[in-house]
Amino acid sequence: KNPLHNAAGKKILHPADAIRKQAKKRKLEKMKKERQTNFEKKMFGMSPEEIETEIRALKFDQERKKAHKIEVSKVQQDRLTRLEAGYKRLKDTIEEKHQKRMAQPKNNLHVDFEELKIHRKSSIFYHPVTNPYGAPPNGQTLMYRHPDGSVKREPPPLPQDDGSMAAPGHGPVGDFKNPDSEESGSEDSEDAIAAGNAGDDDDEDEDDDDDDDDDDD
């Protein structure tokens, strides 16, 4: 009968069991390495500000739960621990890769919405009703109208106070009026009322002239 334990007291595995155990160990190590690679790849694709924002959000949520005596899940705690440790270890590489991405030329179809918020009225696709944001249709390049009449990919310069020509959609700051505001609406109504009164006065004058003509006859 084969002994089940060796002289040291350790269990003697069957050769097939030993092979399965080694295969399982290799598989676990491979999966761990893949998870680590995927985690680092995702971290390298994020900006430092995005990672720091997520860390702050997780910390805030945990503090809120603790204050209300709500149990913090292990998944959330592990996520926060992993993010903090990974960011601390890979911070230099993350910043370097982020700067490289920012320095690369942008795709022609890329839309910078922060830029578009400022120059939306200069967009060739701008329409006050159908497209008030000036966003281009899918598959088309965003272009801007410039003060000299040209159309370029770069946005026009913002208007200055030195009397220079303003870009389309960028009037002088002091002269801008919201068409939906009460002030502009009241001014328009006052102009319309004044025009109507002037027309009524002209009609009354004409009627008086006709009455005088009839008296003369």
What is the tens place of the pLDDT at every residue in 40-75? 999 998 889 989 999 999 999 999 999 999 999 999
Q: Given this model, what pLDDT does residue 133 score?
A: 86
Closest listed residue to residue 145, CA positions, set 132, 156, 159: 156
114 or 45, higher pLDDT? 45
pLDDT at 186 over 90: no
> pLDDT at residue 112 above 50?
yes
Distances (CA, A) of 145 to 66, 133, 134, 149: 54, 15, 12, 6
Q: Confidence class of residue 193 from pLDDT cuts 50, 70 and 90?
A: low
Query: By CB neighbour count within 10 A (0-12 exposed, 13-18 middle, 19+ buried), where does 9 fall?
Result: exposed
| Distance, CA of 32 to chain centre | 34
pLDDT of residue 8: 74
pLDDT bracket for residue 29 (50, 70, 90): very high
* 39 vs 18, higher pLDDT: 39
DSSP structure class, residue 70: P
**Percentage of residues in the chain having pLDDT higher than 70:** 69
User: Which string of b and e fits 51-90 if b means at least 16 CB within 10 Å?
Assistant: beeeeeebeeebeeeeeeeeeeeeeeeeebeebeebbeeb
Question: What integer pLDDT is reported at residue 175 of this predicted model?
Answer: 45
Q: What is the largest CA-CA distance in the chain?
A: 149
Write down the pLDDT at residue 57: 94
Report the b/e string of 152-172 with b at 16+ CB within 10 A.
eeebbeebeeeeeebbbbbee
Q: What's the pLDDT at 172?
A: 46
User: Which tens digit of pLDDT belongs to each residue from 122-173?
Assistant: 899 999 999 998 888 888 888 898 989 898 888 888 765 544 444 455 554 4
130, 174, 176, 187 from 183: Cα distances, Å: 25, 14, 12, 6
Q: What is the C-alpha to C-alpha distance for residues 159 and 166, in angstroms, rounded to an integer?
A: 5
Q: Please tell me the predicted confidence (pLDDT) of residue 174.
A: 43
3-state secondary structure of 9: coil
88: Cα separation from own chain's centroid: 26
Q: Using CA atoms, how far apart are residues 57 and 144, in angstroms rounded to an integer?
A: 37
The pLDDT > 90 percentage for the chain reads 37
Instruction: Give pLDDT, residue 138.
Output: 84
